[in-house]
Amino acid sequence: MLIAFHKPMHVLCQFTDRSEPPRRTLAGFGLPKGVYAAGRLDYDSEGLLLLTDDGALVAAIASPKFDWPKTYLVQVEGMPDEAALRALREGVQLNDGPTKPAEVECIEAPPWLPPREPPVRVRKTVPDAWLRLTIREGRNRQVRRMTAAVGLPTLRLVREAIGPYRLDGLAAGAWREEAPPTLPARLRRSGAPRTPTTSSRASPDAPGRAGGLIRPWRRDGR
């Protein structure tokens, strides 16, 4: 099973939270039981999150060998110039090493994207712009760090696509079932299913809760 979910802002990519007060989690969105996140999306980011009950698929999606591009819609503070775009396309130096070249283009504000809750804080004296940015890595908060490195702080970050899977009109908080990809044999072997670590189980009649996922095994953080 493979689920495409439009994660709203300020939702954790897990089904429980032990912090006080607890933050909003994936529980309560009516997701099928037994699925868990294939990768991560930061608490303050929005957009496409894939969930599955197939451990090998999670490992494959997280593996650099799978080489799935991830595309983001990025609202930035400031107006990108050609030097900033070229730096992103060639790779920028971060504190954990240089990034791989990215695909980036300036776009108009996506008309289908609803206002964010809470609203984006913008400064009236500083312009903002939108980028479509595609990367093939998964470092912690990578896109935010990349735009900051070229002088364009990220104001809003929405993941639009992971490989062949896209939001395609999926409303925030909604999900749909997708046809899972066929994994190459080498990835099926190297990504043998693992039993996810759990600290709690949903009761059989708990609505919208997929007991069994507590933490994925890689942070796909932007």
In terms of domains, do 80 and 158 share one? yes
Q: How much is the pLDDT for 190?
A: 55
Give yes or no: residues 111 and 219 share one domain.
no
Question: Which residue, of 111, 142, 162, is where some domain finishes?
Answer: 162
Is 54 marked active-site? no
Q: Tell which of 140, 162, 184 closes a domain.
A: 162
Looking at residue 192, its pLDDT comes to: 47
Give the active site residue among 42, 53, 54, 220. Answer: 42
Domain boundary among 143, 162, 181: 162
**What is the tally of structural domains in the chain?**
2
- Given this model, what pLDDT does residue 83 score? 97
Residues 172 and 158 in one domain: no
Rounded average pLDDT per 10-residue block, the chain, 222 residues: 96 93 94 92 96 90 80 97 98 95 97 87 88 93 97 97 94 96 71 41 34 36 44
Tokens 């470092």 correspond to 139
Residue 87's CATH number: 3.30.70.1560
Q: What is the CATH number of the domain that holds 4?
A: 3.30.70.580
Q: Same domain, yes or no, for 50 and 117?
A: no
86 lies in which domain range?
A: 69-162
Token pair 């897990």 is at which residue?
14
Domain match, 59 and 76 both? no
Say whether both 35 and 77 belong to one domain.
no
Based on the fold, state whether residues 130 and 180 are members of the same structural domain.
Answer: no
